[in-house]
Structure 1
């Protein structure tokens, strides 16, 4: 195998991040501190592979898999575990506490990496996070399928190594397994509802969209990080987890609706990509809202042009989206206002003393996504 690419080589990555730890920018330093823990767990995983007697090229391959796919994103899911533990404890974390919370955070990021590697193969995507998708890298191809499995397996190796003696160890295992299954169910519904090469808008509905986004996004992106922090801080009351779910699933759905809206109406320089949901026949909030309110004539235009691989058809769909009575921008503004008020109401209902939860956990999540432009 050829030597590792500098941009994904673990040693180069660590050198690049060392200066960030002492940055005067709190956000940069916070991210660098979290990323430093990834270097520790990556070494543990690579040491395990070596210890199993795997050849040098297999060890190097796995290092490349880990560094290409795991630490390159926004890391919001992973860092949310650390933030939530700190909020629930009501104080800065001691070194050992921070490391354990960060390991759980990186387990969420490994789960994300596993999903994305597999999703990119299924969608035949080209780029991810500004670089080629993993399966598109030289000499990778379908080996990426096994690489995705190895990213997932890393989660359970790390949980066993660092949490086996904790009384909540089984809870951690169960929630990762359950959340993985839920996300895969969401992916299944998405794949069979909106295959890229077979457009049938009769399969679409806002109800179907709700099901897809809750299962495909909200469980692992919003509920999982908070639930992990709750387990780590000793919250055992089942009702507290039910309450967290009741707040975080609508928050996750709101986040995904925003994402769908920005795909069509966001500025590429802000969202970091050119939106392709219309071209790719995505079961997005925009088209499902349009279908609910479209006149017969507008529906005909959508049927003829949605999911077609040309800019002319895309432009026709966008024109319909802005026409009355559809008016997607107005509908989104109303949806955002309603969602914000609903989620705030749920947050205000949290009994902090009775549940061990803190309103600030949910307020911090809402603050990160409300009125975002990217």
Structure 2
């Protein structure tokens, strides 16, 4: 019975926000319009007419796109057309312009897909979005790296095809390039902390964690989609972008803390993936906070068990998190940061309407996946 009680304590359930508010930022009709563009995207990237001597490779690329780009909540991609609609007067939202916004949104989803395929390989993950990771499917293995590169290249082909005549085109190219660079540097910092062989607890600091989150997650998941929509809507003044970026990076930090928490305490049936942060020795919010609160004996438990794939050692770390009351600490952190972001939104004075930010915040607050 004691074991059952412990397991129940280690499963976090939030009921304060309806599931619909935390799973998708878009309505059913908005998602339908977005999804309707996907077949066009696949044709644009794989039509044999472009490369007549690469028919086999094009068919494979179509399979890569179908498996990896669809299937998630698509909140990053949907944020582009939804934000664009909130920034542009209704009488100027022509079918052609909305199609461009959908395509740019799908470019964000392509970026997400290529990052995730590579991330799953590096983390030796098993599942993604409730199904086998791409590199594990049918024993594919490391050739999946080339598929990720294909998806990244697809971003720039689509942008050239659909947006090259627009005045904002250089801004979009620059945003995708700079965001890829920042995200990859953040991934490097994350990986370097877990590669030294012997666990170095001195590296598990909140300062390092914040840098990883800012570059690995916040820029591409939150700042990129909104900044793209702002440029497409003709908002280019630096102060508007500065204010928006400040808020969106704070949202990105909250999102990653939630992700770290769900990696350990979430239900894989809901999150769609089996967490591996403990096994991988990641600089996770949970272990950083645990080290801040741990006694000398508890720090030794982390030293002896963190970063191991041994199930017993993993359970020791999870039990330590429970002993340190990290579920309660997390709930307080989430609420405090939600309130901070709300204050920042209210302080903005130009560029993006407050409702854009609140729509983004609504989809992540107290999320379970």
Pick which of 162-171 and 174-183 moved more: 162-171
Indicate how the Cα distance of structure 1 residues 272 and 41 shifts in structure 2: closer, same or farther if over 3 A, else same: closer
Provide the C-alpha distance between the structure 2 equivalents of 1:327 and 1:108, rounded to a whole number of angstroms: 37
Q: Check the 8 A contact 1:77/1:105 in 2, yes or no.
A: yes
Q: Check the 8 A contact 2:46/2:61 in 1, yes or no.
A: yes
Provide the C-alpha distance between the structure 2 equivalents of 1:216 and 1:103, rounded to a whole number of angstroms: 24
Matches for 1:68-79 after TM superposition, within 5 Å:
68-79=67-78
Provide the C-alpha distance between the structure 1 equivalents of 2:180 and 2:210, rounded to a whole number of angstroms: 18
Runs of 5+ unmatched residues, structure 1 = 1-25
Runs of 5+ unmatched residues, structure 2 = 1-25
Counterpart for residue 213 of structure 1: 213
After TM superposition, give the deviation of residue 168 of structure 1 in Å: 0.8
Provide the C-alpha distance between the structure 2 equivalents of 1:46 and 1:346, rounded to a whole number of angstroms: 44
Provide the C-alpha distance between the structure 2 equivalents of 1:198 and 1:61, rounded to a whole number of angstroms: 41
SS, match of residue 199 in structure 1: coil
After TM superposition, give the deviation of residue 345 of structure 1 in Å: 0.8
Indicate how the Cα distance of structure 1 residues 211 and 328 shifts in structure 2: closer, same or farther if over 3 A, else same: same
Indicate how the Cα distance of structure 1 residues 131 and 330 shifts in structure 2: closer, same or farther if over 3 A, else same: closer
Task: Tell me whether 1:338 sits opposite 2:342 in the alignment.
Answer: no
RMSD over aligned Cα atoms: 1.9
CA distances 1:64-90 after superposition (whole Å, capped 9, x unpaired): 111111112111100011111111125
Counterpart for residue 13 of structure 2: none
Counterpart for residue 269 of structure 1: 269
> TM-score of the superposition, structure 2-length normalised?
0.88
> TM-score of the superposition, structure 1-length normalised?
0.87
Pick from 344, 356, 364 the counterpart of residue 351 of structure 2.
356
- Alignment length, in residue pairs? 343
Pick which of 337-346 and 84-93 moved more: 84-93
Provide the C-alpha distance between the structure 1 equivalents of 2:169 and 2:181, rounded to a whole number of angstroms: 19
Provide the C-alpha distance between the structure 1 equivalents of 2:216 and 2:188, rounded to a whole number of angstroms: 9
Counterpart for residue 85 of structure 1: 84
Counterpart for residue 286 of structure 1: 286
Q: Check the 8 A contact 2:76/2:108 in 1, yes or no.
A: yes
Indicate how the Cα distance of structure 1 residues 158 and 205 shifts in structure 2: closer, same or farther if over 3 A, else same: same
SS, match of residue 373 in structure 1: coil
After TM superposition, give the deviation of residue 273 of structure 1 in Å: 3.4
Counterpart for residue 361 of structure 2: 366
After TM superposition, give the deviation of residue 116 of structure 1 in Å: 1.3
Pick which of 306-315 and 288-297 moved more: 306-315
SS, match of residue 52 in structure 2: coil
Provide the C-alpha distance between the structure 2 equivalents of 1:44 and 1:224, rounded to a whole number of angstroms: 23
Q: Check the 8 A contact 1:50/1:59 in 2, yes or no.
A: no
- More relative contact order in 1 or in 2 (CA 8 Å, sep 6+)? 2
Pick which of 148-157 and 222-231 moved more: 148-157
Counterpart for residue 39 of structure 2: 39
Counterpart for residue 22 of structure 2: none
Counterpart for residue 12 of structure 2: none
Counterpart for residue 160 of structure 1: 160
Pick which of 305-314 and 112-121 moved more: 305-314
After TM superposition, give the deviation of residue 311 of structure 1 in Å: 2.7
Q: Check the 8 A contact 1:196/1:307 in 2, yes or no.
A: no
